[in-house]
Structure 1
């Protein structure tokens, strides 16, 4: 499937073994499970994949293993961003050498708190250094900086910037859709915005919840495509509590708890994240099983 045809991309968790090492042997089962439940593209080593605690060597091996397992069936977008422009530029050059990677996902630099010109120059430098197409990733709740629509549109004019994952709300999605080039890929990164984003004309969602409710999200999107908005909205209303449960404690602890419970072994988390408590897990599973 071409990235331009994909509506539901899953921000995949990274499986770990009992010692906290990346467990590449668990990847095939996880990936096949996701593809069987309407994941149409994979984000590897994003925030949900605990990218802040993965080394570059671990991430590169994870990318290569994912490419081999997927074997061209869906697009693969690799998280390559950091708050160091030089490091990001050098890393994406390494990722570009892995045949089968579709694009690099580049997050707004965190902690440094650059202004809008700094954001533009950061992404411009990465785009110029990269043989891979790049997607922007604006997630102000995690980076403390919001990339304004004007900056996104300015970057959308660069030939190697193919789209954005934006978590700044419906207004931003609507304005980007209205003013970006027609072939600029627009995804929401907020599960609760999946319905709204699609009805605003976004291509779809980069999702965490699709690990466990991918079939339902696919059904909702099919209805939207058919113009059956009332029916799609009803599914959205049913899914909202489940989406909220997936983020009821720091992600990806809930999604890993659900997957492990369902027999998709992905192991635990790396500090500073910790697993759900038994009570938290019980509450999450209760909501998911309704």
Structure 2
């Protein structure tokens, strides 16, 4: 089962001046993405600052997003944890709230050996009926899923996809060759077209927060065999994409959104403001690419 094809936005969580979830702004963002051709909404992930949200906040954001989107496009909830029981509980609650799928990050800090990670994912998958996207992001977790482990995880019925964010296209190519039954989504905005070229279904994108239609068009151009258009869009925006990671995500994307008038609030500590030097670089690229301001 393919959860979505195209551009899934790794949605930021908007906060108000008290650093609480701004649900009215969240509603506006969800409608903005549907209007601008985003193909799936991913909430409570890394870009959504899930690591500093309470369980109550996460579930409230998931429920609100499911209710507002109302089946128009898939809503996928980040429910990963380095505590297996906690991940199971979050995943079951997200399923009850109507999430179409789950994004489950590899356990971090305690890392886990291969048998442990396999049984972690197996236990989560067996606790729910909705599809699961594995999330491989070794730069944050300290663990890179082996090809052999992905191969056996893909045999579990509702583990259907992998968000691949290692930044290693050779590794991703081996996954595509060795585990063709699993859908691949790029977890790196600067490698979307390369990953599509080895059979990827799309991207879970940070830059889609401000470039929703462009990211959608890039993926769809490739899938519709207009490779030249997709390549040109990837290369045209890569300088801006890379600058959105000049500091740790989601600090730059929230800064960009606030500069453009989205008014999504600050990040929660321990994520602080960008340096003035990096802000200047970011602002110049937003101006250069004439990124649309919030309407």
String of CA shifts for 1:63-84, please: whole Å, max 9, x gaps: 0000111111111110101101
**2:162, 2:184 within 8 Å by CA — same for their partners in 1?**
yes
User: Which residues of structure 2 form unaligned runs of 5+?
Assistant: 289-295
Residue 174 of structure 1 pairs with residue 173 of structure 2: yes
Question: What TM-score, normalized by structure 2, do the two folds share?
Answer: 0.92
Structure 2 distance, partners of 1:104, 1:225, is: 24
Q: 60-69 or 232-241, which moves further after superposition? A: 232-241
1:140-219 equivalence runs, <5 A: 140-168=138-166, 169-182=168-181, 184-219=182-217
Q: Deviations over 1:204-236 (max 9, x none)?
A: 111101112222223322332343323322221
* Alpha-carbon separation, structure 2, partners of 1:6 and 1:289: 30
Find the aligned partners of 1:237 and 1:155 in 2 and give their Cα distance. Answer: 34
Give the Cα separation in 2 of the matches to 1:128 and 1:237.
Answer: 41
Partner of 2:114: 116
1:288 and 1:200 map into 2 onto residues whose CA distance is 30
- TM-fit CA distance, 1:156: 0.5
Distance 1:206 1:24, change over 3 A: same
SS in 1 for 2:211: helix
How far 1:251 sits from its partner (Å)? 1.2
Deviates more, 1:28-37 or 1:202-211: 28-37
Q: In 1, Cα distance between the equivalents of 2:113 and 2:160?
A: 22
SS at match of 2:17: coil
Alignment of 1:1-150 (within 5 A): 4-99=3-98, 101-150=99-148
Cα distance in 2 between the residues matched to 1:218 and 1:104? 21
Query: Which TM-score applies when normalising by structure 1?
Result: 0.94
User: What residue in structure 2 maps to residue 267 of structure 1?
Assistant: 265
Question: Contact (CA 8 Å) 2:3, 2:74: kept in 1 or not?
Answer: no
Matches within 5 A, 1:227-242: 227-242=225-240
CA offset at residue 262 of structure 1?
Answer: 2.0
Contact 1:156 1:181 in 2 (8 A): no
How many correspondences in the alignment?
A: 287
Quote the offset at 1:188 in angstroms.
Answer: 1.4
5+ residue gaps, structure 1: none
CA separation in 1, counterparts of 2:104 and 2:155?
16
Secondary structure in 1 matching 2:102: strand
SS at match of 1:289: helix
SS at match of 2:248: coil
Counterpart Cα distance in 1 of 2:30 and 2:259? 17
